[in-house]
Structure 1
Amino acid sequence: MAAIALLATACSQSSGSGGGKNDTLVVFTGQAGDYQANFNPFSPTMVEGPGTIFESLFYFNQVRDEPAKPLLGTEYSWNEDGTELSITLREGVTWSDGEEFTADDVVFTLDMISRHKEMNGTGYKGEAEAVDDTHVKITFDEPSYMDGPQILGKIYIVPEHIWKDVEQPSKDTVRKPVGTGPYTLGDFKGQAFTLKANPDYWDGEPAVKQVRYVALSGNQAGADALAAGKIDWQTGPVPDIRNVEKNYPGYKAVTVPINQTALMTCANPELGCKGPQTDPAVRKAIYYAMDRTQLNSLAFQNTSSQISPGFALVESNKELVSAKLEESLAPMRADAARAERILKDAGYTKGPDGVYAKGGRKLSLTVRVVSGWTDYITAVDTLAEQLKKVGIKITPQQSSWNEWSEARGQGNYQLLIDSLYPGPSPDPFYTYSYFFGTETTAEVGEAANPNFSRYSNPKVDKALQELKKLAPEATAQRRKQYDVIQTEIERDMPYIPVLTGGTTSEYHASKFEGWPTEYNLYAVPAVWSRPDQAQIYKALKPAG
């Protein structure tokens, strides 16, 4: 209740000036502990900004196969061999400080991330040129069709007139962000911060005048605040999640299977990873020791579904799950005998305490989890009991989101529970290039973004390069490369598949209208999914 009381001030400010209408949206992202101001859209520890403050050129819907939505860009096209991407920019756009947006800002942004590898989360390798104020041409050394949606939809354009003077752009926390987006930064405190509607936004000032982000103590505090009507949107578990409308009058819920829950491992000793998890046999034993049916029931209220060890989404990419995999789907029940056989074959012997060891070192691991994330906490606690049965000891290690995120980015962990997310379109290429490509990782102690496992495999890298050259319609050729990637990552398993997460959001339908539903998924309905959240903020209006 103390946590809910913290929201009183925010909610008392919710009435807009127009006839008392409520135009402040209060959201909870799952932030446990105070926010740390970081609005750098290229930082892995950023708290907000992509889509809301900083915009991409287009918006690509990850959950629907539909044309890209124009934002700062209005048109784009490829040349015949996929080596040149031409973009037309929107005219009349200004930065929130009043300066004019031009093609120079786009070129500057692309050049900047090219120079700073840790900012280049999409692996961009083009060369950009401003043809004039409203046209940009990007050239590539080889066909790069798959780079299109990433460049157009996942790179957030920043103002050259400000960022050219930033000495270390990858580390700057951008406490006073200037963008072209529908919102600007209002007040900021550790327990809450506010985004304010941009009155000069090129697409018109949003009807939701303020978005208030609040930090609570975890999922239970979020559920309590929801029950008290103190927050309007959260993405995460609540008790009895299938009966939200009954238990939380005025609210509704939507669930979308899009992110793939996994045990991340710092897997690569050549890049500085240390611990038993660097042994593929240990990772494979953990994979078979999981009882995923029990995990789904106890931790996720049966909202999750099966996952493929090749990490092609089972529901939306079923036809791309490789037939060359040992198993197309991860087993839902534990195979303890197989798990122990894998360990024994790799030279591990079980000690008198029931824990396997090798070379005098026990098979004992820590797994990082964010304090207050009750579903993940239950999952790792359950996993600890499951793995104990096969002689593997794991110790859950709770910390604030800030500490957890820092450890994930720097590689200072052994195991960590999180999700692998898709790219700007449903094609699994993007998940592979983000999380399994050498281009997006770094040595332990340096920021990886987002190949947090430090995985590096020449066969996977080569397949990713081949996929970039292929047009999306070259289905048969693309499948051959997916076969290579999926069989390699099934064997190496740097991310141990758990389940395909059922991402559930609870939203205040009686207060705001225009929410995405299972029948109208115009954006991913998750408050922490960027830039989808911005599309939703722009679509919402006070009910009535």
Structure 2
Amino acid sequence: MSLQLRRRSAAALLAGAAALGMLATGCSSGGSGGSGDPSTLIAYTGQAGDYQINFNPFSPTRIGALGTIYESLFFYNKAEVTEPVPLLGTEQAWNEDGTELSVTLREGVEWSDGEAFTADDVAFTFGMIKANPAINNGGFDGEVVAVDDTHVTFTFAAPAFVKGPDFMSTPIVPEHLWKDVNPAEDVNEEPVGTGAYLLDDFKPQAFTYKANPDYWGGEPAVKQIRFLALSGNQAGADAIAAGTIDWQTGPIPDVQNTNENFPNYNAYTQWQNQMVLSTCSSAEQGCEGPQTDPAVRRALYYAMDRTQLNSLAFMDTASEMSPTFALTPSQDEYVGASVTEPKVPMEPNLTEAASILEGAGWAKGDDGIYAKDGERLSLTVEVVTGWTDYITAVDTIASQAKEAGIEVKAAQSSWNEWTEKKGSGTFQLAIDSLWQGPAPDPYYVYNYFFTTGVPVGETAGNNYSRYANPVVDDAIAQLALLSPDDPARQAQFDAIHTEIVRDMPFIPILTGGTTSVWNTAKFTGWPSDDDLYAFPAVWSAWDAAEIFKHLEPAS
């Protein structure tokens, strides 16, 4: 199946101004970037508040290192269907039944401390992941054997075709440094990798990479990358206006006129990440609050006025979404006829919301808010301080939910606190996005986010909703055994869709329009419609690492 992603240049994005407050048009032409050195790129990932050092590529609270310092065997471009790009691996081949994958490794690669990279490092990395469930988010269950220094063999007890892209995208770490490390807890302050960049300097307000002069692919043209911690989206927009950063992925006012307002910059948008209200969904796993009732989650789904939400919070850059989490329109073929509502409703349905709640025993109180067994239907949504689009979205949802008899409140915190709450299960709702896998197939979203729910207090991995449904778990396990072109897969997708559309552990909002604003006067080689070699988001680490290697100073 060809991945037909809708994408447009910034000039054709929108009609109308943003509701986030306007920068004065023409008040700044945008400088040439935040450094006098034309080979230094200043980036802002959306980090609100100080960085806490963590370059452990397996940690959910890492701040960097994926792709730039620690490489995988291959890079998979999730923006377009292309052949995987060889990195530490150069060739891969499955046997006929999908139980054995042979990989040839690149010769002559060294770790940044001068030690040789070999097949033993690959075998060690996967053995370490398998032995530590807290970091085994992809569910690796195979065996890896180093045949010789440049060949490894992956073997599985059952067919594992669809798991291949995930495993080939795993960061590889050096055995000689990681054999005595706790990979779930160590923050890896001095990362040693094979990538195009080295850690140069860390401070809570910024950290810097420098080009690796001994990189196997040749020293990159961008000699330094500095990641800034700012106060949020508005600070990022102000930095674009002042010309002090070169790349950010996030909203700026009047984004459709970026190049007119700031001639040194252009904007580019793609649609992949599915925005959700994540819930701590399972009372059986220890979650607490009204959101553990599926009726509450479904009522909130119908309470949303997504047309208004798109306008007020997302500058009309968001697009349709399916409650099945099959990316629309590129994965519509996976949505079976049993799904009666294949797209989220754009307008609210308060009658349906009321019917769902009252059918589950909730009754509206004198204050207009539902209650049940003495518990008032009041929900708190966790959001990162400074994420102005998400903050506006939560405020808008709160106003809409009130009309449906549901009280919604926002709780702002730092990114680190927000991440910790999700990971430990100490939250009710959190606004977030679910990302796509390495291939255009909904299997990956289901495998990442809807399987293997664990109790509150244990590290959740990607399934921080702690959703535990044996029907879904079994269907995902069956999908892992089938070739991507096997028609028997549809029955498994149908089973998953029935369960997750009913249960909604992640409440669908819209597919977010991911917009990057970048300095085209200072650097050339950015992704475009003509050459979409990576997903253009500075916070999408594997993709950003490829982009950094493609860029060249314009001067």
- How far apart in 1 are the matches of 2:337 and 2:542? 34
Relative distance call for 1:125 and 1:14 in structure 2 (3 A) is farther
Residue 49 of structure 2: aligned partner: 33
Checking the alignment, whether the CA contact within 8 Å between 1:349 and 1:356 is kept in structure 2 is: yes
Checking the alignment, whether the CA contact within 8 Å between 1:310 and 1:322 is kept in structure 2 is: no
Deviation at 1:456, TM superposition (A): 1.3
- How far apart in 1 are the matches of 2:131 and 2:360? 42
Checking the alignment, whether the CA contact within 8 Å between 2:33 and 2:522 is kept in structure 1 is: no
| Among 240, 245, 251, the residue aligned to 1:231 | 245
Residue 492 of structure 1: aligned partner: 503
Checking the alignment, whether the CA contact within 8 Å between 2:236 and 2:248 is kept in structure 1 is: yes
Q: Which amino acid aligns with 1:462?
A: D
Residue 156 of structure 1: aligned partner: 171
Residue 343 of structure 1: aligned partner: 357
- How far apart in 1 are the matches of 2:414 and 2:434? 20
Matches within 5 A, 1:460-499: 460-474=472-486, 476-499=487-510
Checking the alignment, whether the CA contact within 8 Å between 2:33 and 2:41 is kept in structure 1 is: no
Residue 23 of structure 1: aligned partner: 39
Q: Which amino acid aligns with 2:175?
A: E
SS in 2 for 1:29: strand
Deviation at 1:484, TM superposition (A): 1.3
| Among 523, 528, 532, the residue aligned to 1:517 | 528
- How far apart in 2 are the matches of 1:501 and 1:424? 18
Matches within 5 A, 1:125-164: 125-153=141-169, 155-164=170-179
Alignment: residue pair count: 524
Residue 385 of structure 1: aligned partner: 399
Residue 451 of structure 2: aligned partner: 437
SS in 2 for 1:453: coil
Checking the alignment, whether the CA contact within 8 Å between 1:107 and 1:129 is kept in structure 2 is: yes
Q: Deviations over 1:314-348 (max 9, x none)?
A: 02212222321120001000001110111111001
Q: Which amino acid aligns with 2:525?
A: G
Checking the alignment, whether the CA contact within 8 Å between 1:208 and 1:538 is kept in structure 2 is: yes
Q: Which amino acid aligns with 2:176?
A: H
Residue 271 of structure 1: aligned partner: 285
- How far apart in 2 are the matches of 1:518 and 1:224? 27
- How far apart in 2 are the matches of 1:404 and 1:102? 38
- How far apart in 1 are the matches of 2:64 and 2:96? 38
Q: Which amino acid aligns with 1:420?
A: L
Checking the alignment, whether the CA contact within 8 Å between 1:56 and 1:72 is kept in structure 2 is: yes
| Among 238, 242, 257, the residue aligned to 1:243 | 257
- How far apart in 2 are the matches of 1:132 and 1:234? 43
> Does 1:536 find its partner at 2:550?
no
Q: Which amino acid aligns with 1:460?
A: V
- How far apart in 2 are the matches of 1:482 and 1:58? 27
> Does 1:317 find its partner at 2:331?
yes
| Among 202, 214, 225, the residue aligned to 2:216 | 202
User: TM-score with structure 1 length normalisation?
Assistant: 0.95
Q: Which amino acid aligns with 2:114?
A: G
- How far apart in 1 are the matches of 2:367 and 2:302? 21
Q: Deviations over 1:402-454 (max 9, x none)?
A: 1101111111110000000011111111111000011xx43211221111100
Checking the alignment, whether the CA contact within 8 Å between 2:132 and 2:184 is kept in structure 1 is: yes
- How far apart in 2 are the matches of 1:307 and 1:191? 36
Residue 125 of structure 2: aligned partner: 109
Q: Which amino acid aligns with 1:372?
A: G
Q: Which amino acid aligns with 1:235?
A: T
Checking the alignment, whether the CA contact within 8 Å between 1:196 and 1:211 is kept in structure 2 is: yes
- How far apart in 1 are the matches of 2:424 and 2:258? 38
Relative distance call for 1:13 and 1:227 in structure 2 (3 A) is closer
Residue 7 of structure 1: aligned partner: none
Residue 436 of structure 2: aligned partner: 422
Deviation at 1:13, TM superposition (A): 5.0
User: TM-score with structure 2 length normalisation?
Assistant: 0.93
Deviation at 1:11, TM superposition (A): 6.6
- How far apart in 2 are the matches of 1:508 and 1:407? 35
| Among 91, 116, 127, the residue aligned to 2:107 | 91
Residue 371 of structure 1: aligned partner: 385
Q: Which amino acid aligns with 1:158?
A: V
Q: Which amino acid aligns with 1:350?
A: K
> Does 1:332 find its partner at 2:335?
no
- How far apart in 2 are the matches of 1:491 and 1:181? 44
Checking the alignment, whether the CA contact within 8 Å between 1:254 and 1:518 is kept in structure 2 is: no
Checking the alignment, whether the CA contact within 8 Å between 1:314 and 1:321 is kept in structure 2 is: no
Checking the alignment, whether the CA contact within 8 Å between 1:63 and 1:425 is kept in structure 2 is: no
- How far apart in 2 are the matches of 1:507 and 1:446? 39
SS in 2 for 1:534: helix
- How far apart in 1 are the matches of 2:44 and 2:121? 32
Q: Which amino acid aligns with 1:40?
A: N
Deviation at 1:469, TM superposition (A): 1.3
- How far apart in 2 are the matches of 1:245 and 1:223? 14
Deviation at 1:12, TM superposition (A): 7.0
Q: Which amino acid aligns with 1:64?
A: E
| Among 182, 194, 197, the residue aligned to 1:183 | 197
- How far apart in 2 are the matches of 1:311 and 1:13? 41
| Structure 1 moving runs of 4+ over 6 Å | none
Q: Deviations over 1:40-91 (max 9, x none)?
A: 1111110011100100000001111111000000001111111111111000
Q: Which amino acid aligns with 1:81?
A: D
Structure 1 unpaired stretches of 5+: 1-9, 16-21
Q: Deviations over 1:252-307 (max 9, x none)?
A: 11100010000000001121111000000000000000000000000000000111
Checking the alignment, whether the CA contact within 8 Å between 2:34 and 2:245 is kept in structure 1 is: no
Deviation at 1:468, TM superposition (A): 1.1
Checking the alignment, whether the CA contact within 8 Å between 1:43 and 1:170 is kept in structure 2 is: yes
Structure 2 unpaired stretches of 5+: 1-31
Residue 5 of structure 1: aligned partner: none
> Does 1:452 find its partner at 2:464?
yes
Checking the alignment, whether the CA contact within 8 Å between 1:258 and 1:313 is kept in structure 2 is: yes
